[in-house]
Structure 1
Amino acid sequence: MDATAILNNVKSIGTEGLGAPLILVMMLAMVVIPLPALALDIFFTFNIALSLVVLLVVVYTLKPLEFSVFPSLLLVATLLRLALNVASTRVVLLEGHEGGDAAGKVIEAFGAFVIGGNYAVGLVVFAILVIINFVVVTKGAGRVSEVSARFTLDAMPGKQMAIDADLNAGIIGQEEAKARRQEITVEADFYGSMDGASKFVRGDAVAGILILLINIVGGLAIGMFQHDLNFSTALRYYALLTIGDGLVAQIPSLLLSTSAAIIVTRVASTQDMGGQILSQLLSTPKSLAVAAGVLGLMGVIPGMPNFAFLSLAGLAGAGAWWIYRGKRSKPAEEAPPQVVPEAPPEQRELTWEDVQPVDIIGLEVGYKLIPLVDKNQGGELMKRIKGVRKKLSKELGFLIQPVHIQDNLDLSPTGYRISLHGVVMGEAEIFPDRDLAINSGKVFGKLQGVETQDPAFG
């Protein structure tokens, strides 16, 4: 293969669908290649922005299946954060003896501003964040994911049977039934994936603790034995940078854990999360009125922050009164209009207009045979009847009358009836989902199936 052919093959790949592979290659590069401090700032900022966007998308999603890519996205975000931990650990251990912004402005800001430059406070804040993430959020989300996956799988046969029943009754068509089956499959796959994805978040929390301890111990050893720093200086430099690195990683981790918990606890609705909370939490004024009374009583207790309690009590009371007034101001439902009985129709003589015309050639089918007639469902019976009429008209020399086709619920689901001038000429049953096997006399043994008669040749 020459160079031109190779170049054409590369061009044929195009740029579509390369986003996810490039991100994975970029994460591998962060693990292997040392990154400058500026690149770390960019990637840490991107990681925080990605976690925030995912959280907002989950909040505004109406039902979980609208964000079915979330389990895969959760895995990618977790791997990105761990790759950043490896890259930042390398920079902290190599350049941490310089202090300050050796590992980038983001880590320095979290180590100096967020925790006030006190590594003891930073350790406590980091421990609290890990406990919230590991014990509270991820544990509950994991349990909800397990139960949802189990119940979804248990409900699949019943949902499939309901779809088949609606399809057989003619309530829905083939396309809608196919779409519903696809939705059931996607739902089962989604909750099954979420059951496994919750383990990523728990493992990430454990990895954050271990990385923090390893970085502090390794930083102290490198600072004291390689850069001749005393214990307090090495602890101040490396502990602040390591804690800042840990906080930068734990905050996006907590955001993604919260997103996972929200999406597995959401119920499909026509409102987003904010609309559901407002419509349901503020639907009854009694709850706000009682809360206002309790807050007011607590506000008059000596030693309590009276302004805060009384202010919230006033807001809750005003909200309860506003909701109550809004419900009372709604106009009462109008009484149904009086139905005046109509006068009986005037009797008139019978005419030919009152007699329903009889079709010359009629074909009645059961409801299971409707897809054979309906063009929207791929039925070709009308087209084939037209072809037969055309052929017979050429052979006989006169025009064969049109065939009027209609469904008849009195027939069996797979039955049909042919009539001529309203007189039944023949009726039988066909099975569209089966094949007709005819014994030619050379078949060994007995054919298995439903015995019937060839409707075309007897």
Structure 2
Amino acid sequence: GEAAAKFTQLTIGDGLVSQLPALLISTASGILVTRSGSDDNFGTQVSSQLTAFPVVIAIASLVLFILGIIPGMPTLVFFALSAASGTSAYLMYKDEKQQAKQKIEIEEKEIVESESREPENVMNLISVEPLEVEIGYGLIPMADESSGGDLLQRISSVRRQCAIEMGIVVQPIRIRDNLQIRNNEYVIKIRGTVIARADIMPSMVLCMNPSGEDINIQGIKTIEPTFGIEALWINKDQREDAEIKGLTVVDPTTVMVTHLTETIKAHSYELLGRQETKVILDSVKEKYPTVVEELVPDLMTIGEIQKVLQGLLKEKVSIKDMVTILECLADNSRNTKDIEMLTEYVRFSLSRTICNDLVDEEHRITAVTISPDIEKLIGSNIQKSMQGSFPAINPDITTEIFNSIKVMLESTHFPTNIPIILVSPRIRPAFRKLIEMVFPSIVVLSLNEIPNDVEIRTEGVVSI
């Protein structure tokens, strides 16, 4: 027994002692190699690696405890090391658990904060653009300046044109592609609602005959989207031949821009909100502060002025002369708050502006009138509502009036190509309300809206 003990001490013990330096050197080399990619110092890395996994320290504590109970081993030393490492493992485990708990709390806090911000994000998602144009995939080159497309520049000029002609401030027009529509289709939207749409051929040109006669050129038949006349899409090399024959030829960008411009004019009253009205008033106030300060807010609110301007724009009356409009409202708003009545007063003050586009080269207005019977019928059945005056007459009689108007329009030549019906001032708003859905392009004038120096030429009478 004594011989075996001596043999064990001299062989195993001596072998372990001789291997310890090699073990330490290998461990040190491994640590130095693995830390080469880190910017931390040696002490920080050793500490972080030793404390990264508490379970390893716990296993080491258990091993030290087992070594301590082996006979002949220094029990006190191993037990002390085991207790120290075990305590360290427990503290590290507790700290790791606390850090995990804090991490969960931070993540939950971030989720709560994200949810608290969600309503704002949703509001951004549900907001709509006042005016936007969606184009199909095939029309994207028209908007790409690097490919020679000038659509963006041309559409930007539409805002300037609307300001000059109609006096309205159009918000920037958003243009975006939409893969859900046809390749060569474009869609015009106002406040998210589709107002107009059409197809164009980006590699061709549109040919139209101003006289309305058939076009004797080979091409693809279509309908011009703005004015609804028959047209042809022809190749670009046919353009010169078409122009020699006296035909009107326009490029596809012009077709779209013209359609957009006329759509904005027809729906300009929908684009004029209180904010846009305030912008206009602020602009006028810079040069004419007196009339604005007298009118707003003592006599009229911005909303009431907006409704008057919308009434004018709905009948395609320019509101560019805002000083005259505000002067008229300041004079008459003391006596009445009726928006329809105030709009009629403003129309009277803008009589020259209204008639400017309606007179021909001889400074004459060509129009049709309505019979005394119709005028009396409408005048005796006018009812007022929140939307204005309207005639409450028999539907059959209304149909007869519409048929008579249609016949007169087909048989009457208007030099300015704008159909005009003259009525008395008393029934003008109601008559306009009666026919606006069926004949939106007809201008309904009252006799007092025509300046004295303008000659009136009547070509027919609407009767039943």
Q: Tell me the TM-score range normalised by the shorter chain.
A: under 0.3
Q: Which has the higher helix share?
A: 1
More contact order relative to length (CA 8 Å, sep ≥ 6):
1
Larger Rg: 2
* TM-score (ref. length: structure 2): 0.23
